[in-house]
Structure 1
Amino acid sequence: MITIKEIANMMNVSPTTVANVIHGRTSKVSKENVERIQQALKDHNYVPKMGLEALTKGKTRLIIVVIHTTKRYTQTTVGDPFYSQTIGVLEEEIRRAGYYMMLYIDRNLDNIFKTALSWNVAGIIAVTLSKTNYEKLCSLVDCPVVGIDTFMEDTAPLPDKGYHVTLDDIGAGRQMTSYLINAGFSNIMVISDAKIGSSALRAAGAKTALKEHGISTEKQWHMVLDTQKRRRDSQYNSLLALAGRKYVLFCTADQLAFEVIGYLNEHGCHVPSDISVCGFDDNPYAEFCIPKLTTMHQDIARKGELASEILFRLLSGENVEEKAIRLPVELVVRKSVLPPD
């Protein structure tokens, strides 16, 4: 690629003059030279180096998206439809606003904090951090931080720099479970992959619904899956004993429902004739699995759009009054749940 010095020699001006035109400082450059230099830059497809531009202008166009993820046993984080869709929407919104996205994913929170502090970024979008760790991140950095699914309670005050977009996960878990009970189920097993975060909140909502309808939670009603495949398969194997007993399995994420349905089918237990299964998320595969999955729809794309919108409003100096946005969910009834006779 052509350099500033080479363009300066071609135009018979100093490299400083060319640099001034590139960075918009043209008050001391003649109109004729500005036009000549701009045309030369265009003709030779000159592209400024973003790092140098950021240093020269004293500001950055970099947004970092940090994701805290738990240990996974089957796939990478970006292989999960929730995260891949979230990342895709954020990248598009950030690029459209004229910024550049840096993505950092880690199970180690200290690494996330160090990375956020190490880079000169305009803003941060934090995905699936706990409330405590989200607050810590806000306290460490000097830029706006917007959270997605940061597990904030309704009554919890947000940090001064804190904004977040999420769901009412407890209410959504309660809604799905109430639907199942009203459909005639009294044997409901909630299956999640974590004791914290959105999965745990959805399970808590399910427990609330069970109690509201007078269904005992003394017996096992909640299975938290192990991250080790051998132990996880053993847990799935225990579900085979529930076949034919008018059970429904409420998985707190569609990905879990797909795993469960696959295991059950491989071992001769058919969904929904032997046992019913439902999920949560309504990810793109829910409509194509066999049977089609009954699930709770959440608008993942809208989460990313709103988080980006809030961040760029803050960066423009706007006062954003609404600090916490909770999006609605919608029950989607398909073929994986067969109400008992």
Structure 2
Amino acid sequence: MTTIKDIANRAGVSTTTVSNVIHGKTKKVSPATIELIEKLIQEMGYVQKLGLNVLNNTSSRMIALVIHAHRKYENSIISDPFYGKIIGFIEEKLQMQGYYIMLYSTDDVNKVFHTVMAWNIDGVVALSFSRNDCNKIWSLIHKPVISIDAYGSSQGSPFVTNIGLDDFTGGSRMIEYILGCGYHDIFVCATSDYGIDQTRWNGAREMFARLTEKNSSKKIRFINIGETTLTRESFYQQLIRRIPFPQKTAVFFLSDFYAIEAISYLATRGVCIPADIGIAGFDDITYARLTVPRLTTIHQDMEKKAELAVSELLKAIENPAAYTGKEALLDVILIARDSI
């Protein structure tokens, strides 16, 4: 096992210098030395055994809940009610089985490796990472990994189970409902054009094509509304300037968070929803039923998603040699309220 002394010898510096870099005390260390030490830490596979020092046990009974740190979040990622709710369910299910969670947010899978090894984590639940990232996490740590809402290539790892949602059907069901309510033009909005948002958009687009005639004047359009409040509010202002629309128009946000933000912005500026414009969302977070008007959305069972993830993780922990990864997609339900 690589020690601080080994790294110091290779770098030609003192063990104190190496320790300072590891603990972020780098004010008196040159950038070149920091870079060299960090490179050697990676190359030599050094990991602090903090968890073992604290727990001194073969099993820590700790699970790392790792959340992909999306760029779209201007504040903490767990300020999104969707993440707050699913984290709560996972923690509850694990606690019932005598496990504890370590919550960690990052977009760097190498940092996941260091955290898992340092604290002797028993397993990982990876939330909203790509399938490639989930596979890489498993290949680095060789401990049970369960992903939730992994995106990207459908070819998963034989060792990583993904608990996801039938996002394609969710997108198509909402478009079917909106068209059935007499809407002519539809904007489909998200903060990204890849991953789960892409899958939901694909479902929406396919259903629109199926239900409208080839030469129909009805229109559907995808709009990336941006990653900041400023860019999103610019889009909402554009909507206000176009009211009244020449045809009955709806906006389908691929996340309730932004649908609710839009309702708040538009309503406080005199826009009547759904008379002036229809608004729909996706996820059915708690606040969806508290807006005025109440939000029409696609419901997903987040408690069931957490329950399945924990169940699969415990199976993998109990018998890792026999465990085989799989793909589980939960169904969606359209919730018709008042905003469409």
Same topology, TM > 0.5: yes
In 2, the alpha carbon distance for the partners of 1:121 and 1:304 equals 19
In 1, the alpha carbon distance for the partners of 2:170 and 2:86 equals 20
Three-state SS of the structure 2 residue aligned to 1:248 is strand
Corresponding position: 1:160 with 2:162:
no
State whether residues 159 and 325 of structure 2, in contact with CA within 8 Å, keep that contact through their aligned partners in structure 1: no
Three-state SS of the structure 2 residue aligned to 1:221 is strand
Instruction: Kindly report the root-mean-square deviation, in angstroms, between the aligned alpha carbons of the 2 structures.
Output: 2.4
Three-state SS of the structure 1 residue aligned to 2:172 is helix
In 1, the alpha carbon distance for the partners of 2:54 and 2:96 equals 19
Task: Quickly say closer, same or farther: Cα 1:61–1:258, change in 2 above 3 A.
Answer: same
- Pick one of 184, 187, 190 that aligns with 1:189: 187
In 2, the alpha carbon distance for the partners of 1:301 and 1:235 equals 33
Instruction: Using structure 2 for the length normalisation, give the TM-score.
Output: 0.77
Corresponding position: 1:332 with 2:335:
yes
Deviations 1:176-221 (A, max 9, x none): 1111112222201001111222222211211111222236799771
Deviation at 1:64, TM superposition (A): 0.5
Identity of aligned residues (%): 31
Three-state SS of the structure 1 residue aligned to 2:286 is coil
Amino acid of the residue matched to residue 326 of structure 2? K
Runs of 4+ residues deviating >4 angstroms = 50-54, 215-220, 318-322
- Any residues of structure 2 matched to 1:286-325 within 5 Å, and which? 286-317=288-319, 319=322, 323-325=326-328
Task: Quickly say closer, same or farther: Cα 1:268–1:334, change in 2 above 3 A.
Answer: same
In 1, the alpha carbon distance for the partners of 2:199 and 2:238 equals 24
Deviations 1:275-304 (A, max 9, x none): 000111111111111000111100111111
- Pick one of 260, 266, 269 that aligns with 1:267: 269
* 2:169 equivalent in structure 1: 171
Task: Quickly say closer, same or farther: Cα 1:253–1:218, change in 2 above 3 A.
Answer: same
Instruction: Using structure 1 for the length normalisation, give the TM-score.
Output: 0.77
**Mean Cα displacement is larger for which, 94-103 or 239-248?**
239-248
Deviation at 1:108, TM superposition (A): 4.1
Deviation at 1:242, TM superposition (A): 4.1
Unaligned runs of 5+ in 2: 1-50
Three-state SS of the structure 1 residue aligned to 2:289 is coil
**Mean Cα displacement is larger for which, 202-211 or 251-260?**
202-211
Deviation at 1:266, TM superposition (A): 2.3
- Any residues of structure 2 matched to 1:208-287 within 5 Å, and which? 208-214=206-212, 221-245=221-245, 246-287=248-289
Deviations 1:241-283 (A, max 9, x none): 4433210110111111011111111222211111000111111
State whether residues 310 and 320 of structure 1, in contact with CA within 8 Å, keep that contact through their aligned partners in structure 2: no
Unaligned runs of 5+ in 1: 1-49
